[in-house]
Amino acid sequence: MTIPMSSTESRRAEFESAALPHLDDLFRTASAMVGNRTVAEDLVQETYLEAWKSFHRFETGTNCRAWMFKILIHRVHHYRRKWYQWFSKTTSDELLVDNLTYEAPIPEGIEDEELLKALEAIPEMFRVIVLLADVQEFAYKEIASMLEIPVGTVMSRLSRGRKHLREQLLAIAPGFTHPSLPAHRTESRSL
């Protein structure tokens, strides 16, 4: 049902009630996507202004959180359009069963900062999907709608994003060498 045209005040109250609870999650996601808190603040503010401007198109009872994230993704895309083609719709994405090789355990005691650093190091097209799926817990279908890519692409990029993240964590773990190097294939760490 489309929101009835009532007074600006009541629409504002409805908007604030529906949209503002997602401020922290939007900021966290923006911050992790662009790696800069100042830029993230701007993007989140722009997201709210754009959402308010389009609020007449928002249908009460539908997923406001997903709607806000979709706007944020577009703002980030707009911001980075000159630098990353992470919205490019590749058709060659494959879900390769290449994870039966030895997977080294992630060391215990990884700090939050190390995790954020590892996240920042993975390619943007994978990072955004890891954030939306693993942190914000959106369904594949919702993510596909936000990014305007097929569900299959979401699946393959999530799989590869998680793998990238794991590789980054292994790389930053002190004293650990990636197991793909033959000389260290027997090295292991206990959990």
Partner 1 sequence: MKLIQGTSPCGKYRPLLDSYLSNELLVETTHDVMRHLDGCASCRFELDERMRVRAGLRKAVGSVAAPPELRGRILTALEAPGRAAGMPGPSGKAGWMQVAAGVAVLLFSGLLFEVLVRNPGQFEALLDLAWHQHEGCTVAGHYPAEPPTEAKMRHDLGAHYEALLPVMQTELSDYRIRKAHICRPGGREYAHFILQKGDALVSVSLLKKQDGEALGRPVAPSARQGGQLTAFETGTHVAFVMGNVGAAEAERVAIVIRPGVLAAGL
Smallest CA-to-CA distance from 84 within 35, 47, 22, 42 is with: 35
- Output 86 or 183, the one with its CB closest to partner 1: 86
Decide: is 130 part of the binding site for partner 1 (CB under 8 A): yes
User: Residue 7: is it exposed, middle or buried by C-beta count within 10 angstroms (0-12/13-18/19+)?
Assistant: exposed
In angstroms, rounded to a whole number, what is the distance separating the alpha carbons of residues 42 and 162? 28
**Binding segment toward partner 1, per CB under 8 A, in 60-68, 107-115, 179-187:** 107-115
Decide: is 82 part of the binding site for partner 1 (CB under 8 A): yes
How is residue 169 written in tokens?
A: 């964590």
In angstroms, rounded to a whole number, what is the distance separating the alpha carbons of residues 147 and 3? 25
The answer to whether the beta carbons of residues 97 and 30 sit under 8 Å apart is no
**Binding segment toward partner 1, per CB under 8 A, in 59-67, 115-123, 171-179, 180-188:** 115-123
Q: Which residues bind partner 1 (CB under 8 A)?
A: 3, 5, 8, 11-12, 15-16, 20, 23-24, 26-29, 31-32, 34, 36-39, 41-42, 44-45, 48-49, 52-56, 79-80, 82-83, 93-97, 99-100, 103, 105-106, 110, 112-113, 115-116, 119, 130-131, 133-135, 139-140, 150, 152-153, 155-156, 158-159, 162, 165-166, 169
